[in-house]
Every structure is written in structure tokens, then in C-alpha cells.
Amino acid sequence: MSLIEITEVKKRFGDNEVLKGINIDVAPGEVIAIIGRSGSGKSTLLRCINGLESIDEGSISVAGAQLLPDELHLKALRLKVGMIFQQFNLFPHLTAGRNVMLSQMVVKKTPKAEAEAMAKAMLERVGLGHKFDAYPDQLSGGQQQRVAIARALAMQPIALLCDEITSALDPELVSEVLAVVKELAGEGMTLLMVTHEMRFARDVCSRVVFMHQGRVHEIGKPEDVFANPKTPELQQFLGVTH
Amino acid sequence: MDEFTTWDILRNLLLAARWTVLLSLVSFIGGGLVGAALLFARIGSGRIGPSFVKAYVELFQGTPLLMQLFLAFFGLGLFGIDVPAWLAAGVALILWSAAFLTEIWRGCVESIARGQWEASSSLGMGYLQQMRHVILPQALRIAVPPTVGFSVQVVKGTALTSIIGFVELSKAGTIVTNATFEPFTVYGLVALIYFCLCWPLSKSSQILERKLNVAHRNH
């Protein structure tokens, strides 16, 4: 039984068709890396899954919650999938702890004490328990991204979407964020990540999706996709010459 | 002929300055309330709201305040409605302030990065929750200095209401001049009083700008 079902999804920006019929089924606990050139539609696909972009055709459902454009359905869907962004997007006027507490209290109406306990636990989980009272601009990029992960986790989603979450980080900060993601994967969290970290994709992911010109061009286990790229486009993307 | 001392002149001007202050406050607060309502309509997702507010703002920014005062004062008179000068002055200044404040605040809201909307959306917040907890707290910080700065324009704008006969500071200046034949002294004092009202406002706008935006932006 699939957790995330993406069926024949098409998306256009004006005349430009960026998704040309995408089909992917994700089983619970799977970790999927989406790779491809910029402009191949990988970020757009991810943003469609939690309704940040509307789709023109096809359907997307996450654990039974359909993607429909009204606020009620969107909210139901978004409670099931969390999202982490390239630019962290922490709320700069709130402390790390408050960042993690806010949506629990506002969206789920969790009482403050409970939300605070959850925030502490989640910050602890990403190794930032001691930064509860720090403001985002007092944290490094890697720390900010870990707070963003804690913020998404506090809503107890059943899947996480990661949109190039290490691309805005200095090289030495990448590993601390990936370590957290790896831990989540180990705990059985379902993850869909757009990434340029090929080594990470190879080590941690259960499947790799290569997107090219708005289509799923190749899909398979990382050892097959990386070791035996079948299409010339993927070979070129990976820099393999035969 | 009676002699007027400088104190006589100043006293009369100060009494009239009360009306300048009151009209400024009414215009600014009323304009703020109307402006806030227009702001929500402007940045909401509706079809009619944004285009209505856009037209409203363009109308009020594209015509002189003096014409707006004339229209409020004489226009309603055409329909047989007798509008007292204070009412026409108040209404026109409120509508005028609202147009400018909406536009100032819209810029502040739109300066908040798109990622803030996306992050709060992805956490399941609805439009009003996003505005209340994420967007407005950040936008307000940015909005304070230009808003206080605009209050100076409101104070100076009230001077125009003298032309439709509302007796505030400028009108009182004209009346006193007609009695004393000392225009330079009188208008000098009038200008001084305006300056005493406006200078602290523009100064505090500068201080707030430095305080809110540069040092310790987020604390």
C-alpha cells in the first residue's frame, strides 16, 4: 500500500509545461532522492505534493488526503507532510523554541505547556536543545536548518519533503544537517528529497528518481541508477563516460 | 486703535492650534483604521478587493488634497446636504490618509520574503493565522518609521482645511493678521508652531528607524 501516490501529474507555467505526466508511488518508510538538472521540474514536483503549487492535471494523495485547492483539504494534506526549504525560512522574529511551538499552538491548538515540551524534545532530537531561546540570526546556517527540521517534526508528519536543504549551506555545515536526515531515515520516516548530494543519495536512499525535461527519466535502486545509468542523459548528468 | 501684544497673538494662535492637533489625530487614527481595512482587501486573494483598493489609492494619490477637500465640502452641497467645514475636513483627510497608509503598509507586507508565506503554509496555517502570527509582526516593525514619518504630512495637510473655512492654526493666522496688520510676526509664529508639532515626529521617525531596523533587528 503506497503512502504517497502521484498519478499522471501535469503542471504548466503559462506555455511552459514543467511536469509532463509524473507517476511515482512511495511506500511508507521509503527514502527517495530526486535528482536532475535545474529546470528539470524536481523542485516543482516537490512543491506540488504539499500544495505550494497547484497542479493542472492528475492527482496526488498522501495517506488518503487528496490534493485539492481549497483551504480545508490543503490543511489536511499539510498536516501529513512537512516541508524543509533551501532557505530555512525560519520566522526571524521568534526564538528557535517559539518557531517550533507556533504552528502546534495555532494550527493544532495544542496547549502552550505541551507545545513547549514538544519543542524542547524536537530541538533535543536535532541536537539543539540548548538553543531554545536563541533567535535565528544568532544561529549558523546548519543550526537554522536543523531548527527548521525540528519545526516540521513537531507537527508529527508522516512524510517529509526536503527541497535542496543543504544547497544554501557552507560546505562544513552540510554534514550536520545530513546526519539529522540520516537519523530520521533510520527511524523509518518517509522522505522525499531533492538533492545534489549524490553520495548521500547513494548511501541513504532506497530509490533514486532521475528527472529530465519534466519526466521521470529513470527510477531505481541507488546502486543500479548510479552504477548502471541506462540513458545517455543520466550518464551525462552523472559525468559517466562509457 | 487697540494694540496687540505678541502674547495676545501667540495665545490666539495656540488656542487654534488645538484644532490642528485634534484634526491631525482624527485624520491619522481614522485613516489608519480605514487604511488597515483596505490593506486586507488589497493583499487578499479576492478579485474585486484588490482592484477596488488599487483604484481608490490611485484616485487619492493622483489628485491634490485641496481638490478632495473642495469636493467633500462643495460636492455634497450640490445634493442639498449641508456639510459643516469640520466634517468635510475630517472626512477628506481620513480618506486621503487611508490611501497613503494602505500603500505604505502594502509595501511593508510585500517586503516580507515569500519563504515566510510558504513555510507557514506548509505548516498548515490559514491566511489569517499567517497574517496574525508571521507576516504582520515582521511587517509592523518595518512599517513604524514610515508611518510616523507620514504623520508629519497629515499635520501639514490640515493647513489646507483653512481654505474651506475650518478654523485651525492657518486660518487663525489669517484672522489674526487681518486684525493686527502684522503678517510677518503672525505667520512666523504660525510656522514656528507647525515646526514644534512636526519636528518631534520626524525626529522620532528617524530614531525608530535606527532602532528597529539596524541594531538588533530581531530582539
pLDDT tens per residue across span B50-104? 999 999 999 999 999 999 988 888 887 788 778 888 888 899 999 999 999 999 9
Q: What is the pLDDT of residue A150?
A: 95
Strands laid side by side in the A215-220 sheet: A81-84, A159-163, A190-194, A31-36, A207-212, A215-220
Distance from CA of B143 to the nearest CA of A (A): 15
Do A82 and B115 count as a contact with CB atoms less than 8 A apart?
no
- Provide the residue count of chain B: 219
Residue B219 lies in a domain: no
Q: Residue B2's pLDDT band (boundaries 50, 70, 90)?
A: low
The rounded radius of gyration (Å) of the Cα atoms in chain A is: 18
- Calculate the alpha carbon distances from A90 to B104, B116, B119 in Å: 25, 7, 8
Q: Which three cell numbers stand for residue B173?
A: 493666522
Show Cβ contacts of residue A58 under 8 Å, excluding neighbours closer than 6 positions.
A6, A7, A8, A9, A10, A21, A22
Contact in structure between A86 and A163 (CB atoms under 8 Å):
yes
* B 122-151 near A (Cβ less than 8 A): 122-127, 129, 133-134, 137-138, 141
Fold of the A4-89+158-238 domain: Rossmann fold (3.40.50)
Do A75 and B126 count as a contact with CB atoms less than 8 A apart?
yes
Distance from CA of A39 to the nearest CA of B (A): 20
A167 touches chain B (CB under 8 A): no
User: For residue B158, what is the DSSP state?
Assistant: G
Do B122 and A82 count as a contact with CB atoms less than 8 A apart?
yes
Instruction: Report chain A residues whose CB lies below 8 A from the CB of B115.
Output: 85, 87, 89
Per-residue confidence in pLDDT tens, chain A, 242 aa: 789 999 999 999 999 999 999 999 999 999 999 999 988 999 999 999 999 999 999 999 998 888 988 888 899 999 999 999 999 999 999 999 999 999 999 999 999 999 999 999 999 999 999 999 999 999 999 999 999 999 999 999 999 999 999 999 998 899 999 999 999 999 999 999 999 889 889 989 999 999 999 999 999 999 999 988 889 999 999 887 55
Distance from CA of A109 to the nearest CA of B (A): 11
Q: Residue A191: beta bridge partners?
A: A31, A160
B154-187 pLDDT, tens digit per residue, is 999 999 888 888 888 888 889 988 888 888 988 9
Q: Which of B118, B124, B134 sits opposite A85 (nearest CB)?
A: B118
Report how many Cβ contacts below 8 Å link chain A to chain B: 69
Burial (CB < 10 A; 0-12, 13-18, 19+), residue B111, is: exposed
| Residue from B117, B122, B125 whose CB has the most chain A CBs within 10 Å, to mutate | B122
Instruction: Report chain B residues whose CB lies below 8 A from the CB of A153.
Output: none
Do A103 and B218 count as a contact with CB atoms less than 8 A apart?
no
Q: Which of A87, A93, A103 sits opposite B123 (nearest CB)?
A: A103
Q: In whole angstroms, give the CA distance from residue B15 to residue A85.
A: 60
Q: Is the pLDDT of residue B215 over 50?
A: no
Burial (CB < 10 A; 0-12, 13-18, 19+), residue A179, is: middle
B7-49 pLDDT, tens digit per residue, is 888 888 888 889 999 999 999 999 999 999 999 888 877 788 8
Q: Residue B214's pLDDT band (boundaries 50, 70, 90)?
A: low
Q: Where are the beta strands (DSSP E) in B112-169?
A: none
pTM: 0.82
Residue B69 lies in a domain: yes
Q: What is the CATH number of the domain that holds B165?
A: 1.10.3720.10
Q: Which of A50, A51, A87 sits opposite B115 (nearest CB)?
A: A87
Number of independent structural domains in chain B: 1
| Residue from A48, A88, A89, A165 whose CB has the most chain B CBs within 10 Å, to mutate | A89
- Domain containing B150 equals 6-213
Strands laid side by side in the A16-26 sheet: A16-26, A4-13, A57-62, A65-66
Distance from CA of A125 to the nearest CA of B (A): 19
Residue B166 one-letter amino acid: F
Instruction: Report chain A residues whose CB lies below 8 A from the CB of B125.
Output: 103, 106-107
Residue A186 one-letter amino acid: G
Q: Residue A192: beta bridge partners?
A: A32, A161
**H helix or E strand, kind and range, residue A23:** strand A16-26
Q: Is the pLDDT of residue B1 over 80?
A: no
Share of chain B residues as helix, strand and coil, in percent rounded to the nearest 5: 85, 0, 15
Q: In whole angstroms, give the CA distance from residue A63 to residue A65.
A: 6
